[in-house]
Structures are given as structure tokens and as C-alpha cells.
Amino acid sequence: MSRKPADEAEGVIEDNEYVNAPVRPEDKAPPDRRLLFSSPSLPLLAVCWILLLLIMGLRIYFSSVISEQNVKLIKENQQLMKENQQLMKENQQLMKENQQLMKENQQLMKENQELMKENQQLKTENQELMKENQELMKEIQELSTEGKNTELKNVIQELKTENQELKENFTKQITDLEDNWEKFNVSRAQWTIDSYCPADTMRTCSACQKGWNETQKSCIVLHNSEAPPHLKTWEEARENCRGRGADLVVVHDEEEKNVIDAKITHIPVSKGYWMGLRVEGGTWKWIDGTNLTDASWIGPPAEGHCAVSLPTRKWTSVKCDEKRTRICSQKALSV
């Protein structure tokens, strides 16, 4: 079928418009990408990518926050473990002090039992004396009924007087024992109160008794006189400390050593102070059974030698039978 000239002209115009029309990105793209630009799923895909990136960012952020919290919790846990260990140490120390008090209480109970035993023995002896006296009285009465002379009456009177004196003497002994026991308990308690809580203007208590210096958990006293009566051998010095409810000082760490060295630096004692450290079995040992922790504090061990702390902040080894003054130590009270 032949086309009309008018139709052919319109077709030429349309072809020219198509050729001269501006090229769109969709027209420049390959056929498969044209489908992509024209696809209605493009916005959804972009949203998915944005959500994925957001999720990854949030994950990284929360991972960082959780990691910081984890580190903080670990530090707090370590701190709690340290505090727990400290509490356990303090608890062990309190248990040791409690055991010491129990030992002292047992010693007092033993002394009380011995006094009660002596009291019971005196009662038994008194009963025996009274029994013998009654037998004598009975014999005297029998003799007097038989009409013996007046001398027998005098003997009876003397025996009565002697019996009365024995009763009074025995009663006085029992009373004295009871009074002495009460005075011992009262004086011991009063000594403890006056030593640790001196009554000056107002009674206040401290961890150490008056005249003693507190170092960590111990109380020490330095005997500063070098007069002959005060200088003692190591054994005599230890016995002197024990007589005061203490013992020669024991040093376990550098801090305690520095405290003691600082206290004796300005004291005019040239020959130094005995401490609770001596050579046993070729080793420096403290009187509590522990070994010397730092061998640099003193020279090599020699049998028969004990340790002396000098005002020069040094320790020296001398024979234990030499005479020196001393440092006594006892546990501080928990105030």
C-alpha cells in the first residue's frame, strides 16, 4: 500500500525530532543498566544499604561500650578481691589476738584452780585438826570424869585456847587468800586500764601503754640507759622484756626497720640495742621462729652471736653474752 506525501513528511519530521532530541542517561546506558535505572526496586536497595551501614556502625559502637564496661568491671573485681584479701588478713590477726587472750585466760584459770586447790587442802587440814582436837577433848573429858587432878583442867583450857587460836588462824588464812586473789584480779585490771588509758585530766585510751611507741601493729619501748645495772646479756634482756608482758623486738619488713632506725638515730646509745634476732643452726632467726628476710641488713651468721641495732642505722653481730641495752615489743591493742 503506497503512502501519501503528507504521511511521509510527518515521518521525516518525527525522525528529525528523535535524532535531535537530548540524550538521557537511561538512553546512554547499556540495555541491562537501563532496566536498573528504570527499576522500581532502586530506592529499596538504597534503604537496605543504609540500614546495613547503620547496623554495622551501631554494632561497632556498642562493642566499644561493652568492652569499656568489661574493663571497668574487671578493675572493680580486682579491687574487691584486694579488699577481700585485706579483710581476711585482718580477720586472721584478730583470731591470733583472740587465741592469745584465750591462752592468758586459761593461765589465769589454772592459777585460780591452784589457789582453790590450796584452799581445799587447808580446809582438809583444818578438819583433820578439828577431828584430832575433838578426840583429845573426848579423852580429856573421860579423864576428868574419872576425877583426875586440877592440872588436867588446865590442860583442857590450854587445848581449848589452842583450838580457838587454830580456828582463828585458819579463818584468817582463808580470808587472806580470798582477799589476795581479789586484789590480784583488781590490780591486774587496774594496771591494764592505767597503762593504756592514763587518767590525766580526761581518761583516753591508746593502742600502746604510756611510754611505749606504736609502730605498725606493735608497741616498742627503748631502754636508753647504758648504766651497768641496765646493760644485760641477750638472754637477760629477753627475760626483762618478758617480765613486762613483752619480748625483744622482731622486724619483718623494710618499713618497720626504717621506723625503728629513725627512733634510735638521735638517742645517745653508742653500743646499740639487743633485738629478737640470733643465730640458730647457722641461720639468722627471729624469736618468733621466722628467718631473716633480708641478708643485707647484717653480716654473715656466726654461732653464739646475736643482732644489735646501732644508732648509725646499721645492724651488727656480737656475742650474745656481751652486755647491751634492749628494745622490747608487744602487740598493739585494737582501740
Dump pLDDT digits (tens) for 126-175: 788 888 878 877 876 776 555 555 666 777 777 778 777 777 776 667 66
Q: Are 209 and 219 in contact (CB under 8 A)?
A: yes
For residues 300 and 279, is the Cβ–Cβ distance under 8 A? no
In a domain, 194, yes or no: no
Tell me the torsion sign for CA atoms 41, 44, 46, 49. negative
Q: What is the pLDDT of residues 168-212, one digit of tens each?
A: 776 667 666 655 555 444 444 444 445 545 555 455 567 788 888
What pLDDT score does 103 carry? 87
Q: How many domains does the chain have?
A: 1
Cell of 282: 647457722
301 part of a folded domain: yes
pLDDT at 143: 61
Decide if pLDDT at 322 tops 90: yes
The pLDDT value recorded for residue 164 is 76
In a domain, 122, yes or no: no
CATH number, domain of 262, equals: 3.10.100.10
Domain extent for 311: 213-331
- Cell numbers describing residue 17: 525530532
Cα-Cα end-to-end distance for the chain: 127
Residue 32 lies in a domain: no
φ, ψ at 290 (rounded to 5°): -90, 155
Query: pLDDT, tens digit, for every residue of 54-111?
Result: 999 898 988 888 888 888 889 998 999 999 899 899 889 888 887 888 888 788 888 8
Cβ count near 128 (within 10 Å) = 10
Task: Report yes or no on 281 lying in a domain.
Answer: yes
User: Is residue 228, in this structure, part of any structural domain at all?
Assistant: yes
- Is 0.85 topped by the overall pTM? no
Q: What is the dihedral of CA 296, 300, 306, 308, to 10 degrees?
A: -40
Mean pLDDT for the stretch of residues 7-23: 48
Residue 288 lies in a domain: yes
Measured distance CA(31)–CA(37) in Å, rounded: 10
pLDDT, tens digit (0-9, with 9 covering 90-100), for 230-256: 899 999 999 999 998 899 999 988 988
H-run or E-run covering 279: strand 273-280
